[in-house]
Amino acid sequence: MNENGHHDGRDDQRVVITGMGVITPLGYNVDDLWANLLAGKSAARHIRHFDATNFAVKICSDIAPDAFDVEQYSHIIDKKEARRLDPFEQYAVIATHQAMTQANLTIDESNRDEIGVLIGTGLGGLIVIDNGYKALNEKGPMRVNPFTGALMIPNMAGGQVAITFGPRGPNFCVVSACATGSNAIGEAYEIIRRGDAVAMITGASETVMTPFALSAFHRTQAMSTRNDDPQRASRPFDAQRDGFVYGNGAGIVILERLDFAKQRGANILAEMIGYGATDDAFHISAPVPDGNGAKRAIRRALQKAHIKPEQVDYINAHGTSTVLNDAAETAAIKEVFGEYAYALPVSSSKSMLGHLMGAAGAVEAVITVKTMLEGWMHPTINYEYPDPTCDLDYIPNTPRQKDVKIAMSNSFGFGGHNACVVFEKWQG
């Protein structure tokens, strides 16, 4: 940081965000999502994708099957192709189109070899897998769709984005459970900084609405069973929290090297200034109780951003609404920020969006940038009963106005994966 408090560095080493796109249960574009977050709306509802009568968990936060019609996007994805793709690939392509449109980014022969794609997912094409397994059992091996093998694999969202829009730079997939979205954006940031691309289409996409996935995640004992009151089920940091509400979605951002963005006259939304990634090396699903892994990721991100803890104005928390995760994240924030932690606003998008699994960090990065652009911090809804172990300022129930200059977003995943990304308001 320079003496005026702004991030310094050569333009060919700095990375900025120029476009954002989302498909989420709270809105199929960034503006609708943002309006619903500020209004404190919950996307949680009873499961409609299949009959969940015999399941212990009957609630989700989904992309409504009766409201989202991929054929409305036939100008982006051919109707025949759309029907073939898993929804996680559909969402990635549509969110990318939104982000590229905002960025006014044209990919052509002059730049396509220097623009890459890094789109993560926690689970890949579960719907395609589910359909293929049904075909195998009901009709035999020769009736399995010949595209199943390609479309079920996690990297195919990025592959489909490249096929649709034409970038030929680095293209691979990050899979790190619920840290995936933040890891993808962080690694794309590093790809640009090391000189392997001038721009990256990055983020994550997820679809988990299958009976098998619901059963599997419920068996981890991490999901809410507040079936009688879905909209109050996700309650991060609240003493009566009983687990997360899972859902579908995608978030995409366009990252660009600053000199490339300036050269083409892009409208810059924010600057990415830091990224940290660690692992707990502790347990397949539970975090280290003292938040040690999260703490180290946050500290590393701050160090790479060359900022002090007290320069952070807002944290978009991982905030899953699970007993262990919320307590560990709170402990990590208090350890890193000390007394300043109690003056630092923290809120959880998952209180309204639910947990979008691998896509969560990517959508939350979009929300964090939007926070800086709009000067408002969305609330943590359903915060009713204080928990002595979670005693920070979680912006309970009502949005708050603030000029946020530097913000971070945390993501933590099964397997002990931790990722933290830091953004700075663009000062021109």
Q: Is the backbone of residue 216 left (phi > 0), alpha (psi -120 to 50) or beta? A: alpha
Alpha-carbon distance of 158 to 395, in angstroms, equals 35
Q: Are 256 and 192 in contact (CB under 8 A)?
A: yes
Q: Are 1 and 7 in contact (CB under 8 A)?
A: yes
Q: Is the backbone of residue 163 left (phi > 0), alpha (psi -120 to 50) or beta? A: alpha
Alpha-carbon distance of 9 to 1, in angstroms, equals 9
Backbone angles phi, psi at 44, to 5 degrees: -70, 140
Q: Which two tokens stand for residue 175?
A: 């899979």
Beta-strand runs (E) in 178-279: 199-206, 249-257, 270-279
Alpha-carbon distance of 169 to 191, in angstroms, equals 10
Nearest to 200 by CA among 277, 253, 273: 253
Q: What angle do CA 316, 317, 320 make, to 5 degrees?
A: 135
CA dihedral of 236, 314, 336, 352, whole degrees rounded to 10: 10
Backbone angles phi, psi at 392, to 5 degrees: -100, 180
Reduced to 3 states (helix: H, G, I; strand: E, B; else coil), residue 71 is helix
Catalytic residues: 178, 318, 355
217 Cα distance to chain centroid: 19
Q: Which two tokens stand for residue 396?
A: 């309970």
Q: Which two tokens stand for residue 25?
A: 């249960």
Alpha-carbon distance of 422 to 414, in angstroms, equals 22
